[in-house]
């Protein structure tokens, strides 16, 4: 049995992970669950999976969990706390062998580091942790001999393609992107798009923030930075191609020109199961990919004029040091304001670019340094965004 702790259990990745547990109950056991504000769903999950520890984002959410009177109030479930402390308590529980980080944003950074220090395997479905603190996290993992198994479909695909291959064999990594709901639209067309339109992803069903990142192509930019840290490859050897069918999840080009690709149905249960079962392979209770029905497979060059966030991510990775922290912080601020209807879609990259321009890069070799840069960048981004609020174009 592998004993699993899930950070973000009520989100889309967390729910898919629990579906994998259901399909492989003879191999997997849930020992910890951490959620945001959805007390009713967490209560139902506690009743079903009977974890040893649970946590939520706020004290108010914990109160609602206890008021359910059934699962949330069980005496044998330890309430690990709230916020970052709660995430760390779940990730650090002594019974957990593997920690799935599926919470959004950067709140789980301390929890991931705590789990690494205790020697627990990390299944990473959160890009921001490595974008924000890739050097700190990967150094800690190397020091403790801990595996970081990617759950993002693209990095999971690359992990599969690289299996058994040395770095000297790899020429480049190729990340595929669906193009999001606005693929093919011009920069001028995007000035008046709404949050509702941006949330209609053509192939994946995901959380709100990551869906907006997909619409701006920032999601792919964050993945470029994440791929750098996961696989030790420079940005000049990581390429992005638009692949609207989302059948090819990513590729690796080898030094002799051969390209190895991983294909599969668009269902996050597959990469989650891969991370849970690794290095074994388990049968999946999903329909196989029907290649004849999939039909044609198209690949296009990204339009970084209409979607400049991808270009900004490459710039941040190239500059290294603290700039990826600033990129991520400014993006989170801008996306939140867009979802609130206070910022135009096309203002998102402007907030990010101006925040990056206002920043003086510094070394971020410690968790404290990372958090300090993150805090200042968020304040700067908020200030810049105030001048762009409620405008349809910039």
- Domains, the chain: 2-150 (3.40.50.720), 165-266+302-386 (1.10.1740.10)
- Residue 220 near residue 173 (C-beta atoms within 8 A): no
187 DSSP 8-state letter: T
Q: Tell me the pLDDT tens digit for each residue of 172-220.
A: 999 999 998 899 898 888 988 888 888 887 776 777 888 999 999 999 9
Tell me the two tokens of residue 250: 């990513």
Of 340, 332, 343, nearest in space to 375 by CA: 332
State residue 250 phi and psi, 5-degree precision: 175, 170
pLDDT at 110: 95
Average the pLDDT over 261-268 and give the result: 94
Q: Tell me the pLDDT tens digit for each residue of 137-185.
A: 999 999 999 999 999 999 999 999 998 888 899 999 999 999 988 998 9
Average the pLDDT over 349-358 and give the result: 96
Q: Tell me the pLDDT tens digit for each residue of 281-317.
A: 999 988 899 999 888 999 999 999 999 999 999 999 9
What pTM was computed for the model?
0.92
Confidence of residue 35 (pLDDT cuts 50, 70, 90): very high
Taking the C-alpha atoms of residue 178 and residue 191, their distance in angstroms, rounded to an integer, is 21
pLDDT at 70: 52
Taking the C-alpha atoms of residue 286 and residue 292, their distance in angstroms, rounded to an integer, is 17
Confidence of residue 388 (pLDDT cuts 50, 70, 90): confident
Look at 4-8, 269-273, 312-316, 389-393 and tell me which has the smallest mean pLDDT: 389-393
Provide the 10 A C-beta neighbour count for residue 73. 14
> Average pLDDT of the chain?
92
pLDDT at 76: 55
Of 271, 295, 214, nearest in space to 20 by CA: 271
281 DSSP 8-state letter: -
State residue 176 phi and psi, 5-degree precision: -95, 150
Residue 389 has pLDDT above 90, yes or no: no
pLDDT at 392: 41
- Residue 363 near residue 350 (C-beta atoms within 8 A): no
Taking the C-alpha atoms of residue 116 and residue 133, their distance in angstroms, rounded to an integer, is 14
Q: Tell me the pLDDT tens digit for each residue of 222-259.
A: 999 999 999 999 999 999 999 999 999 999 999 999 99
97 DSSP 8-state letter: S
Taking the C-alpha atoms of residue 22 and residue 34, their distance in angstroms, rounded to an integer, is 18
Confidence of residue 394 (pLDDT cuts 50, 70, 90): very low
Q: Tell me the pLDDT tens digit for each residue of 43-99.
A: 999 999 999 999 999 999 999 998 886 544 454 577 878 899 999 999 999 999 999
Average the pLDDT over 87-114 and give the result: 94
Chain position carrying tokens 């504000």: 37
Confidence of residue 19 (pLDDT cuts 50, 70, 90): very high
Residue 391 has pLDDT above 50, yes or no: no
pLDDT at 390: 56
């Amino acid at each position: 049995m592998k004993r699993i702790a899930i950070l973000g259990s009520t989100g889309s990745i967390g729910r898919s992970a629990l579906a994998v547990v259901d399909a492989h109950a003879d191999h997997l056991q849930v020992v910890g669950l951490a959620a945001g504000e959805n007390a009713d769903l967490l209560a139902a999950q506690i009743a079903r999976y009977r974890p040893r520890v649970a946590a939520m984002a706020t004290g108010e959410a914990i109160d609602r969990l206890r008021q359910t009177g059934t699962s949330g109030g069980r005496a044998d479930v330890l309430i690990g706390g709230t916020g970052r402390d709660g995430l760390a308590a779940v990730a650090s529980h002594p019974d957990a062998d593997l920690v799935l980080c599926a919470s959004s944003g950067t709140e789980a950074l301390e929890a991931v580091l705590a789990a690494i220090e205790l020697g627990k395997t990390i299944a990473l479905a959160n890009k921001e942790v490595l974008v924000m603190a890739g050097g700190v996290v990967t150094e800690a993992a190397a020091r403790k001999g801990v595996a970081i198994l990617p759950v993002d479909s693209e990095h999971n695909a690359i992990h599969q393609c690289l299996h058994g291959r040395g770095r000297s064999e790899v020429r480049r990594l190729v990340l595929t992107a669906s193009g999001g709901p606005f693929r093919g639209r011009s920069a001028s067309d995007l000035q008046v798009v709404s949050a509702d339109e941006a949330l209609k992803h053509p192939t994946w069903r995901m959380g709100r923030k990551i869906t907006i990142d997909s619409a701006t192509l920032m999601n792919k930019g964050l993945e470029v930075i994440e791929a750098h840290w996961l696989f030790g490859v420079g940005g000049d050897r990581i390429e992005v191609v638009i692949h609207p069918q989302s059948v090819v999840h990513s590729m690796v080009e080898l030094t002799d020109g051969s390209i190895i690709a991983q294909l599969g149905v668009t269902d996050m249960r597959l990469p989650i199961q891969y991370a849970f079962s690794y290095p074994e392979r388990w049968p999946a209770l999903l329909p196989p990919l029907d290649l004849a029905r999939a039909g044609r497979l198209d690949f296009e060059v990204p339009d970084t004029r209409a979607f400049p966030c991808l270009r900004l991510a490459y710039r941040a990775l190239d500059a290294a040091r603290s700039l990826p922290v600033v990129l991520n912080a400014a993006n989170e601020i801008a996306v939140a304001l867009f979802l609130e209807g206070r910022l135009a879609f096309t203002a998102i990259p402007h907030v990010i670019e101006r925040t990056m321009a206002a920043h003086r890069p510094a070394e971020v070799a410690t968790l404290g340094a990372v958090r300090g840069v993150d805090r200042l960048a968020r304040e700067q981004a908020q200030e810049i965004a105030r001048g762009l609020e409620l405008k349809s174009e910039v």
